[in-house]
Amino acid sequence: MSVFSENFLWGGAVAANQVEGAYNIDGKGLSTSDLLPNGLFGEIVERTDKNSSLKDNGIDFYNLYPEDIKLFAEMGFKVLRTSIAWTRIFPNGDEKHPNKDGLDFYDHLFDEMLKYGIQPLITLSHFEMPMGIINKYGGWKNRKTIELFENYAVTVFDRYKNKVKLWLTFNEINIALHEPFTGVGLARNSSRQEIFQALHHQLVASARVVKHCHNIIEGSKIGNMVAAGLVYPLSCNPADVVQAMVQNREWLFFNDVQARGTYPSYMTRYFTENNISLEITEQDRIDLAETVDFLSFSYYMSGCATADENKKIQERGNILNMVPNPHLPASDWGWQIDPDGLRVLLNTLYDLYQKPLFIVENGLGAKDNLHSDGTICDDYRIEYLKAHIQQIKESIKDGVDVMGYTCWGPIDLISAGTAQMSKRYGFIYVDRTDNGEGSLTRMKKKSFDWYKKVIESNGEIL
Ligand code: BG6
């Protein structure tokens, strides 16, 4: 018998802005992602016909999704995580009526998944929001954005209530602390006061939407999503241990609010010491009390924390402020590989919140070699995923309630951080280069059959 439950949700995860392309087709409006041709941490550019980006066409999932979903079904996916591009539904964010073409597109997409028995797991906002809201209302610093987001969420809940039962509110909600433009639609030089106020609005919006989801969709489950920036103390010096505790709270804090329904007490101290004073209404407190059904997170790597200023070398991964761990190898992009960290993480989150956990992103971004005979031997990817799934197994044995695992990028896509095609995560290779050349043909990598077996054996054969 497998350690994984019979209904364990195996699958993969992608995001609209990294696969769909069709950035200005069928009435779609401009989003923050469209102004970041070089990725999350790249320059914010004014959008003109001249500055195109790989994301404009992505991997053309907008047109090729039937082929891709068929391949996911062949691997036996039970679930596919993707996001709805808010700007396909409300191009500027504040229209009275939704865009019919956008709604139709997702209807077809979800039908295609359901045809194969693949459950959609849908993120409402994955690294994109309408530029219309930023230009007119100033992004999430304006309370009005809560209402606009609710309206968008209610529209899609109503529309897809018979097709989609699993939802996530904001992807990596803690990204705003590192990249406020993508996170909350604010300028990069915004103060901590402005960012935390915008985040407060986002947390309230998330909680309100959780309530709408429960009211509108029978049998629904909705979770939050945080980038797990797990850090260990660099040494057993107590000062490093304290520093690691403080740094871990930077991302745990979001789980505290979304799973417990209130701000944790340590944030009071943080806000006081940093002269941050949030406007929190009585109604906000009531709204925040509506908590998520499960906690979800991305996990790619861990890092270390130290109190020693001289050792605080900052490595840029998808989470900042991490000091490299001398015991761990790293990926081609310098992300340190730590399967044991996943067990630490799952146990920590379960001990703290006692809610089901869903690993909605994990994977290895690597350069793949396409041989002349059309094969791609990505043993390194198999090794990475195998080691991580092994640690999920250990965690389940520890008693942790894990709902599912959707590894990141089951098909090659445009990377979020650097907007590259060459940073490949997939079981399926896509013929496209960083220059945008290529036929977009899909090809199975060695890992394709491996993951198929993992799912078939419910995690027994790794
Ligand atoms: C997470 C994001 O930060 O990491 C994804 O939710 C992203 O959108 C993933 O793609 C991997 O990061 P990158 O930069 O390698 O694409």
Three-state DSSP string of 167-236: EEEECCHHHHHCCHHHHHCCCCCCCHHHHHHHHHHHHHHHHHHHHHHHHHCCCCEEEEEEECCCEEECCC
Give mean pLDDT, residues 456-460. 97
Residue 148 CB contacts under 8 Å (≥ 6 apart), including other chains: 90, 93, 94, 133, 137
Q: Which residues contact 208 (CB under 8 A, 6 or more apart)?
A: 146, 150, 287, 290
Q: Among the listed ranges 5-14, 46-55, 108-117, 225-234, which one has the minimum average pLDDT value?
A: 46-55
Structural Rg of the chain based on CA atoms: 21
pLDDT tens digits for range 24-46: 999 999 999 999 999 998 999 99
Q: Within 13 Å of residue 97, how many CA atoms lie on the same side as its CB?
A: 4
417-441 tens-digit pLDDT: 999 999 999 999 999 999 999 999 9
Per-residue pLDDT tens over the stretch 188-247: 999 999 999 999 999 999 999 999 999 999 999 999 999 999 999 999 999 999 999 999
> 5 Cβ partners below 8 Å, 6+ apart?
none
Structure tokens at 119: 């459950």
Mean pLDDT of 53-58: 95
Instruction: List the residue whose alpha carbon is closest to atom 2 of ligand 1.
Output: 416
Mutate to test the pocket of ligand 1, among 415, 418, 420, 422 (most ligand atoms within 8 A of CB): 415
Residues above pLDDT 70, as percent of the chain: 98
Q: Which residue's alpha carbon is at the smallest distance from atom 15 of ligand 1?
A: 415
Three-state DSSP class for residue 57: coil
Please give the C-alpha separations between residue 255 and each of 94, 111, 196, 296, 350, in angstroms, as whole numbers.
Answer: 29, 32, 15, 9, 11
Measured by CA distance, the residue closest to atom 7 of ligand 1 is: 416
* pLDDT at residue 1, as a whole number: 84
Q: Over 80: is that where the pLDDT of 319 sits?
A: no
Q: How confident is the model at residue 128 (pLDDT cuts 50, 70, 90)?
A: very high
Judged against a pLDDT cut of 60, whether residue 118 lies above it is answered with: yes
Residue nearest to atom 9 of ligand 1 (CA): 416
- Residue 317 confidence (pLDDT): 54
Per the CB < 8 A criterion, the answer to whether 150 and 53 are in contact is no
What is the token pair recorded at 37? 């041709």
Element (H, E) at 9: strand 9-13
| Ligand 1 atom nearest to 298, measured from its CA | 1
**pLDDT value, residue 48:** 83
Q: Ligand 1 centroid vs 12 CA: distance in angstroms?
A: 13
Measured in angstroms, how far is the CA atom of residue 456 from the centroid of ligand 1?
27
Q: What is the DSSP string of 307-348?
A: S-GGG-PPB-SSS-SBBPPTT--B-TTSPBP-HHHHHHHHHH
Q: Which residues surround ligand 1 with Cβ inside 6 Å?
A: 15, 18, 127, 171-172, 227, 298, 318, 361, 365, 408, 415-418, 423
Contact 133, 93 (CB under 8 A): yes
Given 112, 179, 290, 361, which residue is catalytic?
361
> What mean pLDDT, rounded, does the chain reach?
96
Contact 345, 398 (CB under 8 A): no
Cα 273 to ligand 1 centre (Å)? 32
Other beta carbons within 10 angstroms of residue 399's beta carbon come to: 9
- At residue 320, does pLDDT exceed 70? no
How far apart are alpha carbons 297 and 305 in whole angstroms?
20
Mutate to test the pocket of ligand 1, among 178, 361, 384, 423 (most ligand atoms within 8 A of CB): 361
Residue nearest to atom 10 of ligand 1 (CA): 416
Span 305-323, average pLDDT: 74
Comparing CA positions, the residue from 455, 460, 459 lying closest to residue 11 is: 455
Distance CA 147, CA 306 (A): 41
**Res 316 pLDDT > 70:** no
For 134-160, the pLDDT digits (tens) are 999 999 999 999 999 999 999 999 999
Taking residues 50-63, report their average pLDDT: 93
Using CA atoms, how far residue 170 sits from 116, 162, 387, in Å, is 27, 22, 28
Q: Environment class of residue 430 by beta-carbon count within 10 Å: exposed (0-12), middle (13-18) or buried (19+)?
A: buried
pLDDT in tens, 76-108: 999 999 999 999 999 999 999 999 999 999 999
The reply to whether 172 belongs to the active site is yes
Q: Quick: pLDDT tens for 348-362.
A: 999 999 999 999 999
For residues 107 and 159, give the distance between their C-alpha atoms in angstroms, rounded to a whole number: 8
Cα–ligand 1 centroid distance for 415 (angstroms): 6
pLDDT at 371 over 80: yes
Average pLDDT over residues 413-419: 96
Note the pLDDT tens digit of each residue in 102-115: 999 999 999 999 99
pTM across the whole model: 0.97
- For residues 334-338, average pLDDT: 94
Q: Is the pLDDT of residue 177 over 90?
A: yes
Q: How far is the CA of 243 from the centre of ligand 1 (A)?
A: 26
**Residue 416 in tokens:** 């979020």
User: What is the spatial distance between Cα 223 and Cα 258, in angstroms, rounded to a whole number?
Assistant: 9
Which has the higher per-residue pLDDT, 29 or 315?
29
Q: Please determine, for residue 47, whether its predicted confidence score (pLDDT) is greater than 90.
A: no
Question: Annotated catalytic residue: which of 20, 112, 128, 172?
Answer: 172
| CA–CA distances in Å: residue 79 to residues 10, 119, 405 | 6, 4, 9
